[in-house]
Amino acid sequence: MSDRLKWGLTLAGCSAVLALILVMPQMRHKSYKLYQGVSVHLNSDEAIYLARVQESLTGRPKRAAEAFTGHPNLVGTQVAFIESWYGKLFRWTGWRSAMVLDVMDGAVPVLLFLSLVLFFQLCGFSRKASLGGAALFCLLQLYNLGRPIHMRASFFLMLWSLIGIIYAVRSRWWGIVLGGGLLGLLIGIYVWSFTFAWAYWGIFLAWEFLEWSYEKWQEHKKMAHSRIRRMLHTAWGIFWHLRPRKPSWKPERWHLLALTGLVGLIIGLPAIAHLIDITLHPLYEYGSFRSGMHHSRAPESWPYAVIFFAMILSVLMAAIYEREILRPYRPICVMILATFVYMNQQVMHGITFNFVSHGIFSMATAAVGMVILYFVLRSKWLSLGALAACIYLAAIGYDGRYVFGQWKVEPGRFAGQHLAQTLPALDDLPRGRILSDPATQSFLAAYTHHDVVYSIYLKNVLMTHHEIASRFCLSQLPLRPDKRIISDRHHLVYPDAVSAFGGDLRKQEEDMVFAACRELDLDPAISIKTYEISHILWNKFLEPDWNIQRLHLNLEEVASGETWALYQIN
């Protein structure tokens, strides 16, 4: 058996094991006796990804960024590029979003694993070292690999932008197209992905340019004895290098990187224009506040800042004293430097926005690369960085322990299975806007073509805090005020802001919701007409205390079951 065949079979076997590990938790739940057709949520933020993909699957990909209310004039702070393309690619199947993401659970992590193997090889490591690094990454990030869009799919695209950059440095023209194209594309996806990719590109460009300039300096140093003459010779050499001339160009490595960045800038112009439009929106301050963005130049995490500072210090010392030995591994050295710049970027622009927690895949890749680099070179300069990387990997490995809970099949996770009975009736109705309790509205957005009134993920939409509070209160109108759970509910209007800013913000949030509910209680019928609600779905199993008569509406029962009832508003 040839080495190439053995390598291919090894990759195939590892890929199959990884896919099986990631799809088994959902398969175990689907085989449970209580399962009726509603996928169990095993990861955070699944509700918004399901709703966005469903919006695209049902024919409205341009509204995937605001996949809940259906109002065409509402603007989302996130573009939902990946979700909209998932919908476009799988619309022909007739699947619902849950099925699409279940399929991708077995596909994207495998592609990501193989891409990591390739990336580590391009960084100069052997096949075995690259395979071990990719396997270690996947083992430590099993929980986050189950998060379908960010960080899994977004990191996959970001990783391929880095691969394109490395190929561009190696004088592959298609690498310029791939790397530059993805650099531009990432601007319109997630801020954490595009800022890391551009940091990687910028540091790589600076490294190559400084090395080229230093070599020019050394050349002229041999020709001139005084410092002034050396500076003049160097300046003249750079000018002569950049002079207009006939197309007999032999590009330097930094030329190729600069060209890659130019391609990325051109491709990213529409996304840049869109981001500018969002920031100029009159309600942008509301959206940025709810997301937890705030002005600060201090590190988000001092322990992680110290850990990665130790890593870049090791790399810089090795680059100074063992430059030639380190040269083949420059891409991973740039990765480590880019990670430190990425996680502390607020020092430059003054805006802090969850860079550490949302960039964990990039940071983990850099840490794994640091460990491999030490074991390959056994350099004393890299030992401190390797130790720091091991501490970081141990920390994120401990944080990922929740993946074991996904394998436990608990009856409490099947509380919403009876809603599968509503799907035939809901599918037969023309698109409308349905009012229900918050949990049921999340189901409606994820499984049907209908719009809803409220979701906690309206925090990512440009609207006022008061409007979100009013929309939440609409879902509470059928309940008597003393039956409403408000103070004990974690998600109301801006939970991310409460976590980021603290203080009495939570009390202000509760007071705003109570005031909005009192206002809507004065005339529920007018409130429902204002938001153009066409149907009401009563989840009797979850909300047995609902009293539909409190709404003072002319209702017609369209369909019903033992645990639910669907009404049309006449």
Q: Identity (one letter) of the amino acid at 439?
A: A
Planar angle of CA 11, 14, 15, nearest 5 degrees = 80
Q: Residue 295: what residue type?
A: H
Contacts of range 324-327, beta carbons closer than 8 Å, 24 or more positions apart? 325/377, 325/379, 326/377
DSSP assignment of 335-401, as one string?
HHHHHHHHHTTHHHH-EE-SHHHHTHHHHHHHHHHHHHHHHHH--GGGHHHHHHHHHHHHHHHHHGG
Cα(465)–Cα(12) distance, integer angstroms: 50
CB within 8 A of 432, min separation 6: which ones?
450, 451, 534, 535
Q: Is the Cα torsion angle 85, 89, 95, 100 positive or negative in sign?
A: negative
Query: Per residue of the chain (570 residues), what is the pLDDT tens digit?
Result: 788 899 999 999 999 999 999 999 999 999 999 999 999 998 888 999 999 999 999 999 999 999 999 888 899 888 899 999 999 999 999 999 999 999 999 999 999 999 999 999 999 999 999 999 999 999 999 999 999 998 899 999 999 999 999 999 998 999 999 999 999 999 999 999 999 999 999 999 999 999 988 887 777 666 655 666 666 666 766 666 666 665 566 788 999 999 999 999 999 999 999 999 999 999 999 999 999 888 889 999 999 999 999 999 999 999 999 988 999 999 999 999 999 999 999 999 988 888 998 999 999 999 999 999 999 999 999 999 999 999 999 999 999 888 999 999 999 899 999 999 999 999 999 999 999 999 999 999 999 999 999 999 999 999 999 999 999 999 999 999 999 999 888 889 999 899 888 888 999 999 999 999 999 999 998 989 999 999 999 999 999 999 999 998 999 999 999 999 999 999
Beta-bridged to residue 89, according to DSSP, are none
* Chain center to CA of 204: 24
User: How high is the pLDDT of residue 228?
Assistant: 66
The full set of domain ranges for the chain reads: 1-35+101-138, 141-243+250-280, 294-402, 417-569
User: What backbone torsions phi and psi does residue 569 show, to the nearest 5 degrees?
Assistant: -90, 120
For strands 433-435 and 555-561, give the pairing: unpaired
Q: Which residue has the tokens 């004293």?
A: 321
Where would I find the beta strands (DSSP E) of 52-211?
none
Provide the pLDDT for residue 239.
Answer: 67
Nearest-angstrom CA–CA distance, 164 and 177: 8
How many CA atoms lie within 13 Å of 422's alpha carbon, on the beta-carbon side? 30
Q: Which of 69, 61, 157 is nearest to 361 (CA)?
A: 157
**Beta strands at 555-561 and 535-539: parallel, antiparallel or unpaired:** unpaired
**Helix (H), strand (E) counts: the chain:** 26, 7
The rounded distance, in Å, linking the Cα atoms of 75 and 339 is 31
**Is the distance from CB of 133 to CB of 331 less than 8 angstroms?**
no
Residue located via tokens 């990665």? 308
DSSP codes joined into one string, 10-55: HHHHHHHHHHHHHHHHHHHHHTSTT-SS-PPP-STTHHHHHHHHHH
d(CA 30, CA 24): 10
117 SS3 class: helix
Cβ proximity of 458 and 472 under 8 Å: no
Q: What is the pLDDT of residue 237?
A: 67
Report the DSSP beta bridge partners of residue 461.
76
Q: Strands 451-452 and 433-435: what pairing? A: parallel
